[in-house]
Amino acid sequence: MNLIEKIIHSHLAGGECRPGAEIKLVIDQTLCQDATGTMAFLELEAMGIDCVKTELSVQYVDHNTGQIGPENANDHLYLESVCAAKGVLYSRAGNGICHQVHLERFGIPGKTLLGSDSHTPTGGGIGMLAIGAGGLDVALAMAGEPFKLTYPHIIGIHLSGKLSPWVSAKDVILKVLSILGSKGNVDTAIEYFGPGVLSLSVPERATITNMGAELGVTSSVFPSDQNTLAFLKAQGRAQHWVELKADDDAKYDRIIEIDLSSLVPLAACPSNPGNVAPLSQCGGIEVNQVLIGSCTNSSLKDLQTVAAMLKGRKLHSGVSVGIAPGSRQVLQMLSRDGSLETMLAAGCRILESACGPCIGQGFSPASDSVSVRTFNRNFLGRTGTRNDRCYLVSPETAVATALTGKLSDPRVVAQELGLEYPQWRMPEKFIIDDSMIALPDEPGKTGEIIRKETIGAPPKCSPLPENLQGEVLLQLEDRITTDHIMPAGANLKFRSNIPRYAEVVFDCFNREGEPTFAQRAAALRDSGKAGVIVAGESYGQGSSREHAAICPMYLGVRLVLAFSVERIHAANLINFGILPLQIRKQEDYDLLKQGIAVEINGLPQQIRQGTEIEMTLKAADGKTQRITLLHNLSKDDQELVIKGGKLAKF
């Protein structure tokens, strides 16, 4: 068996191990972050669960830490008190980004981890089978229910050779993105193997598995070896180490060969992580902002490399540089070894250990300017600036750019400046201080759950109608992300208030002087009709935010018609009673224009009797046409969506 098969087999709670079949997995650990966690815990409360049933559940505060207005702090109070009551560890604001802290303090090779954040697969860097999901699915896992997923096709990426100086882990995952693209990889998982693995430390592996999320795969996993042990030892957790690897005769559904020595510095160009090009092809662009951090590139390894490159140098005067260390541990280490001083002396702006600009919380770039970031997503507008131009690169490329003011190949800059590549070594011991992680109350001695006025309730959805009458509210193209559907940035603080957050659904498609999407959808809902969204391929890529289903559902959306829907988003739609249907032909897509009326008769019966759904389209001139759509819902999911989603039963 390969390693992913081994972990799945040891956690199987039902189903058949065959690509495409539905299986149930026992979940050992869960993680939530604050932007998805409030809803997850409100859902857990709605289920009437007293105490979580997992081996370990941790709630982090890392997304909503700007605290402009009381909403964020109200969320934090609610989360800390509900975690104390339900047996969940709570990592306070300032302690770091969930994926980085989880890797440092809690990740265990061979365990399963379900997280309400799409970058949960970061845990694959330490040999976990770590999967992102919507908050409701994580709440169910905390309640002790196994997690349902499609048994994946397993791609083996065989690594050989060793990275050349100035080429780093980010370039490896950008290379993989250039091969597999950022769409069409649903129900696939990636396992890294081969002699090249040993040349990568745990933080480097975690950069690679983290950005596997941008491929749209279920998870990415590295073996657990001597490097994993070295990392765990330095974290004071050697007892958690087990050796894990694929059998010598393991099979994969597909094998991709990557010779690490042949890689060059790469960039993901605007505005998708899949738009990868060698830096030599996009160099010379004038850059105004460089940001280093996010759960992809904010480890001690990354930031000590950054400091070594900056030592004794000043930033280019045209560039504003921000650095957000991934955790308080990383920040303390940088402070102790003098790296922080080097960064400040160079002219860098030091940010809190949190997601910050990665999710549009400040540091939006100037209009018509270029921002270069070590982050994982550059979807249009995610920086908080409309029509932004954002490039994703390695920390080495980011510093080379910060020094020159132009998007630069670090190999060239190193030669010009006479820079030696800083060789990184894992410290013998990291600074270990878990005092910002609050432990739960003793059973039977739980305190009050604090619920301020900005904490709402998760809305329930009604069953699907017998005969659905609706209208296409929006016809969209390929690769519509959850950032398009549910913008974060300045709106992130409304995550606990669905009616308020729903006002900005599809905000990026609203035009001045015209009714907004939310207004059109609510008017249709109030007239008793269903809202319909039409899209191309890979609808709902990106974040795990279930708000991209909850808020449209709240506005009366009941159908999403697309060529394909990404895994986490498809599950979120079903969980909240929205039916995803597959468009079969381009001619059908072309007919599904905004404003066209649609009708489906006997919808529940059609769902139950097969995979085809007949829909009638009625144009404004009274002409009707029929099209056939497909669904691939399991029996359980059919009943779930028919009765109005998972919360309907509570």
Residues at the interface with ligand MIC (CB under 6 A): 35-36, 63, 117-119, 359, 488, 542-545
**How many angstroms separate the CA atoms of 99 and 208, rounded?**
13
> Tokens 């604090």 belong to which residue?
450
Nearer to ligand SF4 among residue 224 and residue 378 (C-beta):
378
Nearest Cα to Cα of residue 106 among 139, 140, 58? 58
Nearer to ligand MIC among residue 197 and residue 392 (C-beta):
392
What does the per-residue mask of binding to ligand SF4 show for 255-294, with x meaning CB under 6 A?
A: ---------------------------------------x
The structure tokens listed for 384 are 């908080």
Partner from ligand MIC, ligand SF4, none binding residue 373, C-beta < 5-8 Å depending on class: none
Nearer to ligand MIC among residue 110 and residue 540 (C-beta):
540
Nearest Cα to Cα of residue 258 among 161, 366, 129? 161
**How many angstroms separate the CA atoms of 645 and 578, rounded?**
8
The answer to whether residue 411 forms part of the interface with ligand SF4 (CB under 6 A) is no
The footprint of ligand SF4 on residues 289-318 (CB under 6 A) is 294-295
Nearer to ligand SF4 among residue 6 and residue 377 (C-beta):
377
Partner from ligand MIC, ligand SF4, none binding residue 564, C-beta < 5-8 Å depending on class: none
The footprint of ligand SF4 on residues 23-82 (CB under 6 A) is 63
Nearer to ligand MIC among residue 117 and residue 171 (C-beta):
117
Residue type for 273, please? P
**How many angstroms separate the CA atoms of 645 and 634, rounded?**
14
Among 86, 102, 119, 205, which residue sits at the site for ligand SF4 (rule: CB under 6 A)? 119
The answer to whether residue 117 forms part of the interface with ligand SF4 (CB under 6 A) is yes
The answer to whether residue 504 forms part of the interface with ligand SF4 (CB under 6 A) is no
Nearer to ligand MIC among residue 193 and residue 494 (C-beta):
494
Closest separation in Å from C-beta 362 to ligand SF4: 12
Partner from ligand MIC, ligand SF4, none binding residue 525, C-beta < 5-8 Å depending on class: none
Nearer to ligand MIC among residue 408 and residue 481 (C-beta):
481
Nearer to ligand MIC among residue 168 and residue 544 (C-beta):
544
If 0-12 CB within 10 Å is exposed, 13-18 middle and 19+ buried, where does residue 511 land?
exposed
Q: What 3-state DSSP class applies to 504?
A: coil
Partner from ligand MIC, ligand SF4, none binding residue 97, C-beta < 5-8 Å depending on class: ligand SF4
The answer to whether residue 177 forms part of the interface with ligand SF4 (CB under 6 A) is no
CB 298 within 8 A of CB 324: yes
Partner from ligand MIC, ligand SF4, none binding residue 294, C-beta < 5-8 Å depending on class: ligand SF4
Instruction: Tell me the β-bridge partners of 468.
Output: 600
Closest separation in Å from C-beta 325 to ligand MIC: 17
Sheet-wide strand order for 188-193: 219-221, 188-193, 153-160, 254-259
In degrees and rounded to multiples of 5, residue 533 shows phi and psi of: -110, 135
Those residues with Cβ within 8 angstroms of residue 177's Cβ, 6 or more apart along the chain or in another chain = 211, 214, 215, 268, 273, 274, 276
Strand 468-475 relative to strand 597-600, pairing: antiparallel
**How many angstroms separate the CA atoms of 601 and 469, rounded?**
9
SS (H, E, C) 91-135: ECCCCECHHHHHHHHCCCCCCEEEECCCCHHHHHHHCCEEEECCH
Closest separation in Å from C-beta 191 to ligand SF4: 22
CB 443 within 8 A of CB 248: no
Closest separation in Å from C-beta 487 to ligand MIC: 10
The interface region with ligand SF4, picked from 77-85, 353-361, 387-395, 464-472 by CB under 6 A, is: 353-361
Closest separation in Å from C-beta 97 to ligand SF4: 5
> Tokens 């303390």 belong to which residue?
332
SS (H, E, C) 507-561: HHHCCCCCCCHHHHHHHHHHCCCEEEEEECCCECECCCCCHHHHHHHHCCEEEEE
Nearer to ligand MIC among residue 201 and residue 296 (C-beta):
296
Nearest Cα to Cα of residue 235 among 305, 169, 330, 326? 330
Nearer to ligand MIC among residue 118 and residue 404 (C-beta):
118
Closest separation in Å from C-beta 544 to ligand SF4: 9
The footprint of ligand SF4 on residues 354-393 (CB under 6 A) is 355, 358-359, 376
The answer to whether residue 529 forms part of the interface with ligand SF4 (CB under 6 A) is no
Closest separation in Å from C-beta 144 to ligand SF4: 26
Partner from ligand MIC, ligand SF4, none binding residue 545, C-beta < 5-8 Å depending on class: ligand MIC
CB 140 within 8 A of CB 27: no
Those residues with Cβ within 8 angstroms of residue 195's Cβ, 6 or more apart along the chain or in another chain = 159, 160
Partner from ligand SF4, ligand MIC, none binding residue 265, C-beta < 5-8 Å depending on class: none
Partner from ligand MIC, ligand SF4, none binding residue 529, C-beta < 5-8 Å depending on class: none
Nearer to ligand SF4 among residue 63 and residue 567 (C-beta):
63
Put residue 622 in one of left, alpha, beta given phi > 0 → left and psi -120 to 50 → alpha. Answer: left
Q: What 3-state DSSP class applies to 149?
A: strand
Nearer to ligand SF4 among residue 157 and residue 355 (C-beta):
355
Q: Which spans of this chain sit near ligand SF4 (rule: CB under 6 A)?
A: 63, 97, 117, 119, 294-295, 355, 358-359, 376
